[in-house]
Structure 1
């Protein structure tokens, strides 16, 4: 039985794709979603993920996760879940590999700095930046800018966290839509008022599972907290205790790996059971029914959702707000702010190709071009660029 024959009726079927913005002949050997995945893997933005961090700055240690290793972990989880649910694992893989392409250097610190700097202009949103990367900034093909991915992949990148039209902020105010998403959707309607397809929803949950668990792993190995500190965390503490009881002489390194492996398994099992239950409740007959269901079909049970929130609270307090990370992220924010302010005020300092696009100093066009330039940097390149521009002892080449 082929993959297409095994898919559920409500999965995203490659032969029923809404296609690409620019018409192209179909591949003789790959489905359209497999082709999307391959284009993402071969992109410059994907290669740069190797030197972009999740939490730690790249030079802090080789064993901490990068955006690249995180994306691969998300892809593995998303594919496994989709296979069990009879969803399109090729589309899920493409979405998992593309979801972080718009993240700037230095993880959340870099993102916060760009959000602050772009606030007077048209804002910064990493999902919108991912869309810019795959529709405009990648310049590889003779006939178009971007990667010319399928509608389903673009929709999933933009809407994996839910509908964008009608989203509200605290106080009941409507969340403003990022300009990049509005501009693109004007020519290629991504149905911003509906949920994404089921594969995008699964990829978003896989992102959550991977992120939480590799932060447990990285935080323990970095010495930001201990195994004993995790004892009171629901789900996590009992799993560590269970492994310790089963293997009394196990060393901490193996204990961490075994416990994290089991936690991932429990979260994936819960996701499969709850998503299956929701799909049965919706009783969809097509992928359109998933998009218009009014709520996500992929998700945790109430109990696992509480566990997930408790773990996030622990990591926020004991890892993301640890003084060592605070010092590191403070430096990173200052670096990104300084680069932005200099380039916007003096766009003639940009490399030639970027300078041509920047326009007048301190203009919206300059701010957007500078943001694209900085967001595409790796941690290492951003540090080198900072030294070239601000250290008088460093050559400016």
Structure 2
């Protein structure tokens, strides 16, 4: 028996009847020989961590654009917090932690520079619109590894594309990640907003704090416990904590996410993305060779969208400056 086979046996013995067993995966688009060490979902997790798109998350906005200070979240730290919360829930419910973690680590790989401001800008420019969760699937199936993709399992791809809204994931692990994503961003965005001075803890309505708690730790723990206590068969929460969860969501979207101080720079994002999009659409040969292959196969709009959406905040800004901002004359 190989190490992988022994791990799969442990899954059969220890995981919940509602868990997704590695040996029961629907497989990959391109069949591969099983790894002697790692079950398929662990193998996916490793591929995601080592891919280029994952590394770029460290310089992509979460909420506050290019914040000054070491302790604000980036898209990478958000992703790690989602993974931690999702794994905590999965372990408590005896679900497949490897599958849960793989989905969590990959869920935002397709996010644009400058967070949702960049996503909205590309959505207006790209024919057919732009959704970061769809782009995340495209990253792992098409763009990574010089166009060959990561060849992830069906279950991971399904969890990625359903992590935000609409149809729920086919697996309980994917449904856990959707909750973990919301729990993570609402609570860490509160902390960042308080640090930035655009929110006070006492601003959070009493109807929320009386149910979930008044600190980040209390709220996260309360929401995790709500899901765990609800059970693995139907991933969800009891009515009281679900209502408080929705109220917290509504509160954040009516305060922090529309705050004029926090969002005042976002109008500049629209101009930056529009200018880059127009430039590379007019002169596509100035894009890297890999995106020219995409242009020949799928059209220039698709290639430009892939190129810009993959940029970090810093790279997008420096590219804009090199193209449109006069450079200082240097005497040699």
- Using structure 2 for the length normalisation, give the TM-score: 0.90
The 3 A distance-change label for structure 1 pair 338 and 149 is same
Structure 2: any 5+ residue segments left out of the alignment? 1-8
Does 2:157 correspond to 1:154? yes
Contact preservation (8 Å) 2:110, 2:132 = yes
- 1:136 aligned to 2:110? no
Are the aligned partners of 2:59 and 2:74 in contact in 1 as well (CA < 8 Å)? yes
Post-superposition CA distance 1:185-237 (Å, at most 9, x none): xxxxxxxxx74210000011111111111011111111111123225351279
Change (3 A) 1:58 1:346: same
Given candidates 174, 187, 196, the residue that maps to 1:222 is: 196
Equivalent residue in structure 2 for 1:266, among 222, 246, 258: 222
| Separation of aligned partners in 2, 1:61 and 1:196 | 40
Distance across 2 between alignment mates of 1:94 and 1:322: 33
1:298-317 residue pairs with structure 2 within 5 A?
Answer: 298-317=235-254
Number of the residue aligned with 1:383 = 317
Change (3 A) 1:13 1:341: same
| CA drift at 1:2 | 2.9
1:206 aligns with 2:180: yes
The 2-side partners of 1:263 and 1:358 are apart by: 47
Instruction: Report if aligned partners of 1:139, 1:146 keep a CA contact under 8 Å in 2.
Output: yes
Q: Quick check: 1:230–1:236 contact (8 Å CA) kept in 2? A: no
| 3-state SS of 1:203 partner | helix
Aligned length: 321
Residue 109 of structure 1 aligns with which residue?
117
Between the aligned partners of 1:353 and 1:95, the Cα distance in structure 2 is 26
Change (3 A) 1:82 1:356: closer
Counterpart in the other structure of 2:3: none
Q: Residues 14-68 of structure 1: CA distance to partner in whole angstroms, max 9, x if unpaired?
A: 0111111112111111111000000000000000011111101134332111111
Match of 1:239 in 2: 213
Q: Answer yes or no: is the 8 Å Cα contact 1:231–1:238 preserved in 2.
A: no
For residue 76 of structure 2, the aligned residue among 68, 92, 103 is 68
8 Å Cα contact 1:52/1:66 also seen in 2: yes
TM-score, structure 1 normalization: 0.76
Quickly say closer, same or farther: Cα 1:146–1:238, change in 2 above 3 A.
closer
Structure 1 residues without counterparts, runs of 5 or longer? 165-193, 241-258, 280-296
1:30 counterpart = 2:52: no
Q: Please tell me the root mean square deviation across aligned C-alpha atoms, in Å.
A: 2.2
